[in-house]
Amino acid sequence: MGVPGLTGFVEERGVFFTELRVRDTKLVIDGSSLYHRLCLSSDLRRGGDYGSLCAAVRRFFSALWACRVSAFVVLDGGRGAEDRKLQALRGRAAEQLRAAAGLCRGAGPPLTPLLARDAFVQALRRLGVPFVQCFAEADREIAALANCWGCPVLSLDSDFCVFDLAGGYCPLPHFQWESVRAADCPPGCFVPARCFSQEMFCGHFGRLRRSLLPLFAVMHGNDYTGLAALEDFFGKVRLPRGCAQGKGGRHRRLQGLLNWLSQFAEPAEAVENVLKYLKKHQREKIRELLCTSMEDYAPSDVNLEDFFQNGKYECEAARRADVPQWVLDALAKGKLAPLIINVLLLRSTFLRVQVENMQRPSAHSAALPIRQVIYGVLLRASQNTEAASPSELTHELPVVCEFDRCQKTIKKTFVQAASLPTDFCDGRFPLDKLMEVPMSCRQKLLLETLGVKRSFLESIPSHLQLPAAVTCYWIRCSEPKIKLLQLQALLLMIVSEELHRINDDADPTVLCAEDDHIAYNKFLKWKEKKWQNDDFDLDAAHSFCQWQCCLQMGLYLNQLLCTPLSEPDLSRLYTGTLVHRLYQELKSTPSVENLFILSPKMTQLYLVLLNTVES
């Protein structure tokens, strides 16, 4: 994210920060940066521990509240109608694929688990933390809101070194929320932090003006502009050498460009001098590219303060896109995922790679039929095609471009939307009136997509019905077929999380029987025992990745259909380390299946789940 090399340069020098005591203030948080950072404390090889992630989210905001910090979280939305970051996103997907391949072998850079964002949004909602999901990239809206309130921005994105921020930019690695301290005198405790100083940074390069930083970012290359268009300039200009000591001078171009820009009074003057080094036929195109790209560092005109006060998210780009109002409202409130707006606007989506078997088809392949139904609902594929020839049918059904793993590369494939039942395509219920479709019809579409009858789910608690239906689908559609021990491990994990919920839930209406409490303590002792077999079973990992893919798309279809089934709590649903351990131990000790035998209620739940999905 941000300007390549800038974070490394700033951190190496370490002299561009001021100490900050964060308390009694508003704080605008880059949500994407925060959940990526908090994920680092959980298991990243076995598919994520969403309970650990959500516990970290709870501790983080509790620390802020203790210091009387009012936090407001702003999340990225879709890719935007212009799709300007497409090449950067393809490069990032390739990096994630390399990280996943490294983790398969046992080591590699961190990789955010598939459902981390969804679990994070759920955690914010449970905690009552104010948050918004933007229509597209959030950076400009974050900057505008922070400047409106004169408060700091908390992020990992070096683009915030470039924005002119009244309250400054606090990099997350320097925000010591786990070390909240009591002040020597009132008004109380604070979070020790460091704030990036643009004044100190620009002073390092002589007379460099802050207004030139956006031009520097654009020329050095950010997520929107690569360096290729300006290679002629860098090949001809003599950049001042500056201070290139340390690390072999690997930031030489960055420093040279900043020193070169310091001779100019304003961006327009600098742009004219850049153009002198280019061929005449290139100049107007490059001028337009530079000027347009610099606008990415101007604060947005979207009024997020109005959203946080009145719940209204208004955005000119959204109005131009002609998206139904209920979709925009649901997106802003995090009730629909960015995938939805990307498919609507771009007919394109990226499918996140996981730590899976790279020799097999992508784990996302298992969830393809669910995605096709999502595409059908969004793009309104008609089922009235009996008279059409096969060739005509290809042209009539909408197509979506998916970027997904194929072996060890990222490739794009074109996927047809599914035909939908007559209830959804007879013209009475276009997308803007989807909520007017009877609930029974929406639920029927969801369950038929997952291949489950409503009667099968009646004996299952409502908050587990969607995971149970997804598990039925997973058994039917996974390839290769899952093993019984994998299914048992998954269901035992779900039951253990349910037992954890009724023992630890703060809700006084949730009653915990004595035998449930005894069974829970026995389970905790089992968990505390040293795990003898820490082998990583890649085939099992691949199967559990497929389950997460199916759950993710089942969750998104359920959200799009306005939740005909209750949305499950992801923090109480999947723990990667636990499901892998259960699978390994079941192979050697089948009696592990009786782990909850002291609780008749949990034993019954396990048997009901097992019988439902096996039937």
pLDDT digit string, tens, across residues 197-212: 999 999 999 889 999 9
Does pLDDT of 187 surpass 80?
no
Q: What is the pTM for the complete model shown?
A: 0.93
Amino acid (one-letter) located at 393:
L
CATH architecture of structural domain 6-297: 3-Layer(aba) Sandwich (3.40)
Residue range 548-578, pLDDT digits in tens: 999 999 999 999 999 999 999 999 999 999 9
* Helix residue spans in 322-464 (DSSP H): 325-332, 338-346, 368-379, 390-396, 422-425, 439-450
User: 566 pairs with which residues across the strands?
Assistant: none
Does pLDDT of 385 surpass 90?
no
Top-confidence residue, 426 or 216:
216
Q: What's the pLDDT at 247?
A: 44
Strands of the sheet containing 26-30, edge to edge, are: 17-22, 191-196, 169-171, 153-155, 26-30, 70-75, 131-133
Amino acid (one-letter) located at 388:
A
User: 192 pairs with which residues across the strands?
Assistant: 21
Q: What's the pLDDT at 235?
A: 85
Q: What's the pLDDT at 505?
A: 66
Q: What's the pLDDT at 510?
A: 60
- 242 in helix, strand or coil? coil
CA dihedral 401, 405, 410, 414 (to 10 degrees): -20
Q: What is the mean pLDDT of the chain?
A: 90
Contacts of 395 (CB under 8 A, 6+ apart): none
CA-wise closest residue to 417 among 457, 352, 368, 488: 368
Does pLDDT of 384 surpass 60?
no
Does pLDDT of 533 surpass 80?
no
Binned at pLDDT 50, 70 and 90, residue 227 comes out as low
- Characterize 89-104 residue by residue with b for buried, 16 or more Cβ atoms within 10 angstroms of its Cβ, and e for exposed: eeeebeebbebbbebb
Binned at pLDDT 50, 70 and 90, residue 175 comes out as very high
- 131 in helix, strand or coil? strand
Binned at pLDDT 50, 70 and 90, residue 109 comes out as confident
Most confident of 73-77, 230-234, 598-602: 73-77
Q: What's the pLDDT at 460?
A: 96
Binned at pLDDT 50, 70 and 90, residue 182 comes out as confident
CA-wise closest residue to 130 among 39, 61, 52, 192: 61
> What proportion of the chain, given as a percentage, has pLDDT over 70?
91
Amino acid (one-letter) located at 554:
G
Report the 10 Å Cβ neighbour count for 232.
14
Does pLDDT of 503 surpass 80?
yes
Q: What's the pLDDT at 43?
A: 77
Residue range 132-167, pLDDT digits in tens: 999 999 999 999 999 999 999 999 999 999 999 999
Top-confidence residue, 166 or 251:
166
Residue 540: burial class (beta carbons within 10 Å; 0-12, 13-18, 19+): buried
Q: Are the beta carbons of 284 and 35 closer than 8 angstroms?
A: no
CA-wise closest residue to 115 among 598, 556, 587, 592: 556
> What proportion of the chain, given as a percentage, has pLDDT over 90?
74
Domain boundaries, the chain: 6-297, 453-614
CA-wise closest residue to 298 among 138, 152, 163: 163
For the residues 281-291, what does the mean pLDDT come to? 90
**Ramachandran area for residue 382 (φ above 0: left; ψ -120 to 50: alpha; else beta):** beta
For the residues 489-494, what does the mean pLDDT come to? 97
Binned at pLDDT 50, 70 and 90, residue 532 comes out as low
Q: What's the pLDDT at 382?
A: 45
